[in-house]
Chain A
Amino acid sequence: MNSGNIFRSFSSSRRQFLKQSAALAAAVGVAPAALSAAAGRANAATGAAYADELWEKTKADLAGMSDIRMDLNLHSWEGYTEEPVLDPFSRQTGSNVNPQMLISDPAAVNNLRGGGTSTWDVINLNNSWQRNQLFPEGLITPLDKDKFAPLYDMNVAGFEWPYHWALDQSGEHLLGMLQRYGPAGLAVSTDAVDPQTIESGGYMEMIEGAKGQYGILDYENWVIMHTCMASGFIPFREHTADEMAKFEENIFKLFENAKKVSDDQAALARDMITGEIIGTYPGSVYTVSAARLEGETQLVNVVPAEGPEETKTAERPNGQGGIVWIEITSLVNNPNPTPLAEAFLIYCHTPEAAYKVAAKAPGTLNPVVQMGAPEVLSQFSQDELEAVHWGEEGSWLASLVDRCVDFDINPDYDAMHDLYTQAKRARGA
């Protein structure tokens, strides 16, 4: 790593970029209050105190229970599967946690469909799966709303109670708890390219303007989703034949023009640092945060300033060009449930655990919605906040998120995945 990069973080181009990002966010209608997401809600502090109290009570209740299963089987994204998060929980409850990391949301959903409900107790997925698939199919169980709703007081603005993706379609049942989230668009090195050029030119600026100079971060479903956005429509609805044709054209162009394709975000970050590539498609806060923590603050997440026509509203005349993912953790409808599952969700809301979920995952740091609570936010160092694009009182991150549509399910995923694999193979033709 280049220790000199710490100085680059204060370069004029970056300062200018930050200023203009904030200005752009304001221009697209982000109210100052929303930009100050870090301030969170008025009763955020109450939420954190409630989390601590609830955790203490939960531990006492667990200690008084007999004949309960003391194994917790966890199926989740990285961040929840690491020792810094799991060890204190195991130690304080005397339980044994068996974590299995996800490789993709659809794979995890199909694991549950294929009989995984007998194995897993807790499932952590990106938003929309719970509301649209898992709960209607009886694969997860609702949470005790009275007990868990007050924890939403910890959340940053935009994720307050009642939160759309955490509730079932009737709005009656609470399906899970939010924690990590992040905007996704592109990632660039400000040493190699002016981020404003990419921000204003959007995805096609990288695909066509940076031909042969960018890498594809090969998380297949995300490549597909962002190529929909690049093609001028959102992925989360059925698509016309013309739209599918546009998608096909752009996905082939994307792979043809890429210099590298890798699912190793750290390797691609290294390539950006060495100048091998100028940026990645797609890119998110989490794909560059580890490098930024090491002082490589020239790597930044950029969300296109303009989104597809259908995302443009009176409030947001430029629309939304990125996609924000929000992880939701739920209780699996296990026929042999354990109270440890609910306890784990409560534990993750204690300020110390929330911080570890955010900052102690291997190779990445992510913001958590609980950063709306001062008790959580205060645990982050300045470098960690810089790594997650926090900005002045959370304004940088909030402006990126504001330019994103919420992640959802793509009904044309199968057909698009076929085109994606064809385009990828065609690189070697």
Chain B
Amino acid sequence: MTEAAIETLTQEPERPRRKILPWKLSEGFVAALPIIILLFIGFIGPMALVLIYSFMPRGSFSIPESPSLENYVDIVEQDFYISFGWSLFLAFISVVILLIACYPLAVALRRVKGRRAHLLTLLIVAPLFVAENIRLQGWVLFFDKGGFLDGALKVVTGLETGSLVNNVPAIVFGICYIYLPFMLFPILLGLGNVPREAREAAYDLGGSRWRVFRDIELPLAMPGILIGSLLCFVISLGAFNEAKFLGKGVIVTVAQDIESAFTFGQNWPRGSALSVLMIVLAGSAVWLAMRRVNLDRMLGKR
């Protein structure tokens, strides 16, 4: 091989020259500009408005008023801690139940192949195409006194269940039912990160079922588990219809308080202050979780 040839081979290939825009913006930024504008108008703008409204005095229906902390003071002084407590509890307990229910289901789904897998996925996804409140009303008619369960049991056995709604477990059931796909599919994706060979190797090396689960499956599937848990926690915090339809007033969630403030209460500033606190709560949960894990590393980007 001649020196010239060697030089040619060792020479770094000339990189395509990056086209620099006259105003020094990267092409990536320019490409993302439409979505940035959309996010600003559709997300950050309203969020900023809510934040500003939260400092407006009661009775304000426009922004230019003297800012005040009275809404936050009212929230602390009144018994809003009850609805915050219930929302947090419902979100936490629902995530725990969904994790317990969805993990084995996801493992089973991973092992089903072919058309049966498609059919099962379709069965899980299908309810998402029906409005949430219609599905919840269906459960009310199923569980309520004189409903399907009560009526059928009475006809068959002579026993009656009475009303099984109007309680906290019914609300938890509703939340778990509605948000199940939001936990299941991320876990399914997470389990996709667990190579069958790794599990087999662990078994070959004498690992017990529990150790393989703890040391191999769980860490590898953790990104999916974490994403599913965060997603379900945040959306469960805003649970409204479940408490309304299945709880029938047994408790009040923060989302219901917000709705009441914006509608019958005609207290937009208080509704905004409650919304800001909810956003802070949800944001804190995400921040705390993300602080403890490195999602990039888990997803194999680094």
The answer to whether A425 and B145 touch across the interface, beta carbons within 8 angstroms, is no
The answer to whether B265 and A417 touch across the interface, beta carbons within 8 angstroms, is yes
The answer to whether A428 and B78 touch across the interface, beta carbons within 8 angstroms, is no
Asked if A262 is at the interface (CB within 8 A of a chain B CB), the reply is yes
Asked if A191 is at the interface (CB within 8 A of a chain B CB), the reply is no
Chain B residue contacts of A275, Cβ below 8 A: 145
Chain A residue contacts of B58, Cβ below 8 A: 414
Which has the most chain B C-beta neighbours within 10 Å: A215, A274, A414, A426? A274
Asked if A383 is at the interface (CB within 8 A of a chain B CB), the reply is no
The answer to whether A421 and B61 touch across the interface, beta carbons within 8 angstroms, is no
Chain A residue contacts of B166, Cβ below 8 A: 259-260
Which residues in chain A, 177-217, are within 8 Å of chain B measured between CB atoms?
215-216
Chain B residue contacts of A274, Cβ below 8 A: 144-146
The answer to whether A421 and B265 touch across the interface, beta carbons within 8 angstroms, is yes
Which has the most chain A C-beta neighbours within 10 Å: B59, B80, B244, B248? B248
Per-residue B-contact encoding for A246-285, CB less than 8 Å = 1, 0 else: 0000000000001111110001001101111000000000
Chain B residue contacts of A270, Cβ below 8 A: 144, 146
The answer to whether A414 and B145 touch across the interface, beta carbons within 8 angstroms, is no
Query: From residue B155, how far is it (CB to closest CB) to chain A in Å?
Result: 15
Query: From residue B205, how far is it (CB to closest CB) to chain A in Å?
Result: 52
Asked if B14 is at the interface (CB within 8 A of a chain A CB), the reply is no
- Assembly CA distance A319 to B189 (angstroms): 69
Which residues in chain B, 135-165, are within 8 Å of chain A measured between CB atoms?
140, 144-146, 163
Asked if A381 is at the interface (CB within 8 A of a chain B CB), the reply is no
- Assembly CA distance A110 to B265 (angstroms): 11
Asked if B62 is at the interface (CB within 8 A of a chain A CB), the reply is yes
Asked if A382 is at the interface (CB within 8 A of a chain B CB), the reply is no
Asked if A65 is at the interface (CB within 8 A of a chain B CB), the reply is no
Per-residue B-contact encoding for A403-429, CB less than 8 Å = 1, 0 else: 000000000001001100110111111
- Assembly CA distance A220 to B262 (angstroms): 12
Per-residue A-contact encoding for B41-57, CB less than 8 Å = 1, 0 else: 00000000000000000
The answer to whether B82 and A426 touch across the interface, beta carbons within 8 angstroms, is yes
Asked if A103 is at the interface (CB within 8 A of a chain B CB), the reply is yes
Query: From residue A428, how far is it (CB to closest CB) to chain B in Å?
Result: 3
Chain A residue contacts of B62, Cβ below 8 A: 114
Q: Given known contacts A260-B166, A274-B145, is B78 in contact with A218 (CB within 8 Å)?
A: no
Chain A residue contacts of B251, Cβ below 8 A: 427-428
The answer to whether B79 and A426 touch across the interface, beta carbons within 8 angstroms, is yes
- Assembly CA distance A266 to B79 (angstroms): 30
- Assembly CA distance A261 to B257 (angstroms): 14
Per-residue B-contact encoding for A330-367, CB less than 8 Å = 1, 0 else: 00000000000000000000000000000000000000
| Chain B: interface residue total (CB-CB under 8 A) | 30
- Assembly CA distance A220 to B267 (angstroms): 13
Chain B contact residues: helix, strand, loop or mixed: loop
The answer to whether B248 and A261 touch across the interface, beta carbons within 8 angstroms, is yes
Closest to B140 in A: A267
Chain A residue contacts of B145, Cβ below 8 A: 271, 274-276
The answer to whether A107 and B144 touch across the interface, beta carbons within 8 angstroms, is no
Chain A residue contacts of B250, Cβ below 8 A: 261, 427-428
Q: Given known contacts A110-B61, A424-B249, is B82 in contact with A103 (CB within 8 Å)?
A: no
- Assembly CA distance A422 to B74 (angstroms): 11
Asked if A379 is at the interface (CB within 8 A of a chain B CB), the reply is no
The answer to whether B144 and A425 touch across the interface, beta carbons within 8 angstroms, is no
The answer to whether A260 and B248 touch across the interface, beta carbons within 8 angstroms, is yes
- Assembly CA distance A219 to B248 (angstroms): 14
Which has the most chain A C-beta neighbours within 10 Å: B58, B80, B145, B257? B145
Chain B residue contacts of A19, Cβ below 8 A: none
- Assembly CA distance A215 to B155 (angstroms): 27
Which has the most chain B C-beta neighbours within 10 Å: A258, A273, A276? A276
**Residues in B lying within 8 Å of A, measured CB to CB:** 58-59, 61-62, 74, 78-80, 82-83, 86, 140, 144-146, 163, 166, 244, 248-252, 257, 260, 263-267
The 4 residue pairs across chains A and B that have the minimum distance between CB atoms:
A261-B249, A428-B251, A274-B146, A220-B264
| 15 CB < 8 A contacts A-B | A104-B264, A107-B263, A110-B61, A110-B266, A261-B249, A263-B244, A275-B145, A276-B145, A414-B59, A417-B264, A421-B252, A424-B249, A425-B79, A425-B80, A426-B79
Known: A276-B145, A417-B267, A424-B249. 9 other contacts (CB 8 A): A107-B263, A261-B250, A276-B144, A276-B146, A414-B267, A418-B74, A421-B78, A425-B252, A427-B252
